[in-house]
Amino acid sequence: MLNNKKIILGITGSIAAYKAAALLRLLIRDGAEAQVVMTPAAKEFIAPLSLSTLSRKAVVSEFFAGKDGTWNSHVDLGLWADAMLIAPATASTIGKMANGIADNMLVTTYLSCKAPVLLAPAMDLDMYAHPATQSNLQRIRSYGNIIIEPASGELASGLVGKGRMEEPEAIIAALKNHFAMRSALHGRKILVTAGPTFERIDPVRFVGNFSSGKMGFAIAEGCAERGAEVTLIAGPVSLRTSHPQIRRIDVESAREMHAAAMESFPSSDAAILCAAVADFRPATIAEEKIKREDSSEMILHLTPNPDIAASIGALKRSGQIVAGFALETSDGIAHASAKLKRKNFDFIALNPANELDAGFGVDTNRITIIDSNGICRAFPLKSKQEAAADIINELITRLP
């Protein structure tokens, strides 16, 4: 997993910095190429010479080399790496990372890094539990960075609690797991629907809903990051996609989304249907803008749209996995379970329609995954990227 991988090992000023030498040795043993970047404070805890000897590379710590003014390019480093691992990560560095305070080589490299970032916090238990640290960690998670939770045990202060940096073997296992997960969907084709559909009333009006597309786009990005070729069928949203493995098809109405999904699904390994599809559309579309003066009231006749999920569920072959969503205001589990059966889903993600921090529009979601055996797993409030990761993990365990 780590053979030939290029890893930036960021080390910050904590007593746990002494474990960085063991971590580095394990990286090299497993075939990785490691570049150490230290904060000035880290040098108080471990000598750069030990680390440059182990990594067989000069340690980077300053923006400029004192003697000849050579510039250390944080941008080049950020582009070079397959992953950045910051261990130990102090409360101070976590705060700088969360807020983009680039006053040392390590945080500048972090901000320039295009590769995944993992960090192993190390600090005293009260510092770790402080709301400021927790909110900084939450912020960092929302950037897609992975936190390797500290362990509980005896701390440098003599106190006992949560804050000890994980042992080097556990950190290496987390890094390997990360690379394994990143390639878990390699060669798979995944269809994702996202956003609302707009159903035209006349040339200027439509029937629609509040879906922003954020949840579906997070799923599409998450699948692509794990190596899948993704077909993202998106209703009218203002989001952008940049991942080269996402083929995006923009549609407006449920019928257009249905046609695109029917074309893509047969060659897909899985479908995750996150779009908020309008169940009904106006029976006729007025050719001219409807004028207020022409009548005292307006009655809209609606006709049912095709059910994309049910059509896909009916087409599903053995080995293909289909996951849906249920957006509910009440009796969520019962309604979601009924939808799962009716639409022949393998599992369904239930999310609330009446909570301010979940469901439509916002950046966070609270999902419960229900499978066809009726097993429910409720997840806490998370960023939509993290909720997407939970759904993708569920998919991975089910793909043949």
Binding site for ligand PMT (CB under 6 A): 193, 195, 211-216, 254, 273-277, 279, 305, 307-309, 324-327, 339, 343, 351, 359-361
**Residue among 148, 165, 139, 150 nearest 46 (CA):** 165
- In whole angstroms, how close is the CB of 141 to ligand PMT at the nearest point? 18
- In whole angstroms, how close is the CB of 399 to ligand PMT at the nearest point? 19
Distance between start and end Cα atoms, the chain = 22
- In whole angstroms, how close is the CB of 208 to ligand PMT at the nearest point? 12
Say how far residue 16 (Cα) sits from the centre of its chain.
29
C-alpha R_g of the chain: 25
Whose Cβ is closer to ligand PMT: residue 78's or residue 324's? 324
- In whole angstroms, how close is the CB of 249 to ligand PMT at the nearest point? 15
Whose Cβ is closer to ligand PMT: residue 116's or residue 235's? 235
The half-sphere exposure of 308 on its side-chain side, counting CA atoms within 13 A, is 34
**Residue among 163, 86, 82, 167 nearest 120 (CA):** 86
Whose Cβ is closer to ligand PMT: residue 40's or residue 266's? 266
Whose Cβ is closer to ligand PMT: residue 23's or residue 190's? 190
- In whole angstroms, how close is the CB of 19 to ligand PMT at the nearest point? 40
User: Could you list the active site residues?
Assistant: 209
Say how far residue 244 (Cα) sits from the centre of its chain.
16
CA distance 313 to 340: 10
CA distance 88 to 189: 38
Whose Cβ is closer to ligand PMT: residue 74's or residue 214's? 214
| CA dihedral of 71, 72, 74, 79, whole degrees rounded to 10 | 110
Residue with tokens 């249905």: 258
CA distance 259 to 166: 50
Q: Other C-beta atoms within 10 Å of 233: how many?
A: 28
Is 398 in contact with 346 (CB distance < 8 Å)?
yes
- In whole angstroms, how close is the CB of 195 to ligand PMT at the nearest point? 6
Whose Cβ is closer to ligand PMT: residue 110's or residue 217's? 217
| Antiparallel, parallel or unpaired: β 160-164 and 6-11 | unpaired
